[in-house]
């Protein structure tokens, strides 16, 4: 019995040790904000407060770091040029929302308690649906890059979105398939979560409209073997295959399509496939000729984008990805709206935001519609045999 006790003690101690160590491992990534300090502010007036609900900790922390860096860089640039409204600097009220719904509710309440003029974030769709009523009650507009089409159902006049809604991605992919491949039959693989179901629904109704036959098969996040779904799709003989899945499943789809000898059918993947953490999981050869739809692409041939990529890299010594581009744009949009409103009154800024027209973002122009949706710039990218992408449309 003594031996057993000893053993259990050792086991417990080592499992504790492992847990603590792994916790340290997680937080180590956050303090990696290197690079020299930013430009000096030349704006001297009373600062205008802008709330930022940012996932500094938690499961989305990697994105949170980029979001913070992007907004910091944009505000430094704006303030160095004299700020807004004749010399008033923008001041960031940064609060951690930990990437969770409860965290976001607390963060937004704290931001609103600070009397901000306008706010940026939270980022994910679930966090936005948890907080958008708080913003509405407080009468403060906010800008997010969340993508769920359900968010506009709340008809919240204070909600502004600068990313492309998942509901708009499917139809754009259908247009591409018809134009490029004269597709009559489109099959899709979708994740049965919020995102996949919405994208599948939007694509289906758009296909009905266009007179294209549509067939879709669902999967669950975490599925490893997609053979039965893909075999069913194969026997249906589609002209083009879509998939609306997340990182791991998007990579598996590419691999298993090839294993099942379906390479010859054109495949348009989701925005997850356009991110390096996903396409690094794929074999370069299997990836060749695959398309990915995304609302962000670090297009170095585009001058505005190239200049932004360089500035971001100089400031933080990190590469730009979707988070950075989106929230850099959000920060500039805030400055533009305050300037157009001519005041720091939240209601005036909301009105200015809703009237946004031809705002030049790094990835294209933004136009606000009556639902607060601003972005319709969707890229369809194509992979070559070396995992690099170019714009197909």
Query: End-to-end distance of the chain based on CA atoms, in angstroms?
Result: 71
- Residue closer to other proteins (CB basis): 91 or 200: 200
What is the DSSP secondary-structure string of 208-240? HHHT-EEEEEEE-TT----HHHHHHHHHH--SE
Verify binding: residue 310, other proteins, rule CB under 8 A: no
Identify whether the C-beta of residue 196 lies closer than 8 Å to the C-beta of residue 250.
Answer: no
For residues 154 to 193, the per-residue mask of contacts with other proteins, x marking binding by CB under 8 A and - elsewhere, is --------------------------------------x-
Distances (CA, A) of 85 to 59, 206, 254, 343: 38, 44, 51, 7
Verify binding: residue 15, other proteins, rule CB under 8 A: yes
222: number of Cβ within 10 Å: 9
Q: CA–CA separation, 224 vs 389, rounded Å?
A: 26
Smallest separation (angstroms) from other proteins to the CB of 261: 3
**265 is written with which tokens?**
């059918």
Nearest Cα residue to 269 out of 215, 196, 335: 196
Verify binding: residue 4, other proteins, rule CB under 8 A: yes
Smallest separation (angstroms) from other proteins to the CB of 149: 21
Q: How many degrees, rounded to 5, is the angle at CA 186 between CA 153 and CA 162?
A: 35
Smallest separation (angstroms) from other proteins to the CB of 26: 8
Q: CA–CA separation, 119 vs 334, rounded Å?
A: 8
Stretch that binds other proteins, among 1-9, 206-214, 304-312, 368-376 (CB under 8 A): 1-9
- Residue closer to other proteins (CB basis): 220 or 390: 220
Smallest separation (angstroms) from other proteins to the CB of 89: 38
Q: Is residue 387 left, alpha or beta, with left meaning phi > 0 and alpha meaning psi from -120 to 50?
A: left
Q: CA–CA separation, 185 vs 205, rounded Å?
A: 14
For residues 352 to 381, the per-residue mask of contacts with other proteins, x marking binding by CB under 8 A and - elsewhere, is ------------------------------
- Residue closer to other proteins (CB basis): 285 or 355: 285
Stretch that binds other proteins, among 123-131, 141-149, 168-176, 283-291 (CB under 8 A): 283-291
Smallest separation (angstroms) from other proteins to the CB of 7: 6
Query: Angle formed by the axes of helices 194-210 and 125-138, to 10°?
Result: 90
Options 36, 86, 264, 280; binder of other proteins; rule CB under 8 A? 280
- Residue closer to other proteins (CB basis): 133 or 283: 283
Stretch that binds other proteins, among 125-133, 144-152, 256-264, 364-372 (CB under 8 A): 256-264
Distances (CA, A) of 98 to 106, 231, 318, 355: 10, 41, 22, 32
Verify binding: residue 276, other proteins, rule CB under 8 A: no
Options 218, 239, 318, 345; binder of other proteins; rule CB under 8 A? 218
Q: CA–CA separation, 327 vs 74, rounded Å?
A: 9
Q: Which residues of this protein are in contact with other proteins, per CB under 8 A? A: 3-4, 7-8, 11-12, 14-15, 18-19, 21-22, 25, 192, 217-220, 222-225, 227-229, 231-232, 234-235, 247-248, 251-252, 255-256, 258-261, 277, 280-286
């Amino acid at each position: 019995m003594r031996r057993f006790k000893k053993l259990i003690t050792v086991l417990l101690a080592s499992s504790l040790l492992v847990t603590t160590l792994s916790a340290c491992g997680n937080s180590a990534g956050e303090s990696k904000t290197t690079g020299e300090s930013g430009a000096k502010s030349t704006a001297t007036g009373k600062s205008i407060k802008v709330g930022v609900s940012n996932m500094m900790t938690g499961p989305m922390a990697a994105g949170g770091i980029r979001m913070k860096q992007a907004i910091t860089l944009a505000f430094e640039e704006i303030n160095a040029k004299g700020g807004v409204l004749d010399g008033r600097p923008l001041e960031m009220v940064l609060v951690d929302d930990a990437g969770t719904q409860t965290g976001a509710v607390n963060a937004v309440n704290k931001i609103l308690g600070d009397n901000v003029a306008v706010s940026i974030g939270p980022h994910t769709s679930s966090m936005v649906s948890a907080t958008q009523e708080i913003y509405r009650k407080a009468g403060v507009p906010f800008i997010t890059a969340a993508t769920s089409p359900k968010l506009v159902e709340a008809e919240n006049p204070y909600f502004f979105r600068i990313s492309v809604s998942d509901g708009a991605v499917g139809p754009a992919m259908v247009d591409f398939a018809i134009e490029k491949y004269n597709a009559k039959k489109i099959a899709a693989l979708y994740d049965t979560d919020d995102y996949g179901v919405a994208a599948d629904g939007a694509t289906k109704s758009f296909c009905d409209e266009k007179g294209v036959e549509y067939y879709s098969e669902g999967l669950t996040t975490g599925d490893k073997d997609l053979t039965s779904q893909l075999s069913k799709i194969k026997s249906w003989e589609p002209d083009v295959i879509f998939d609306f899945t997340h990182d791991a499943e998007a990579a598996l789809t590419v691999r298993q399509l090839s294993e099942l000898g379906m390479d010859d059918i054109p495949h348009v993947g989701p925005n997850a496939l356009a991110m390096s953490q996903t396409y690094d999981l794929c074999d370069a050869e299997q990836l060749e000729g695959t398309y990915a739809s995304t609302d962000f692409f670090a297009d170095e041939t585009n001058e505005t984008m190239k200049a932004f990529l360089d500035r971001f890299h100089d400031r933080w010594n990190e590469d730009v990805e979707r988070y950075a581009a989106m929230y850099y744009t959000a920060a500039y949009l805030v400055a533009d709206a305050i300037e157009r409103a001519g005041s720091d009154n939240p209601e005036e800024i909301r009105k200015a935001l809703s009237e946004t027209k031809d705002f030049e973002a790094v990835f294209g122009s933004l136009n606000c519609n009556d639902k607060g949706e601003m972005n319709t710039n969707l890229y369809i990218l194509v992979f070559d045999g070396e995992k690099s992408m170019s714009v197909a449309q």
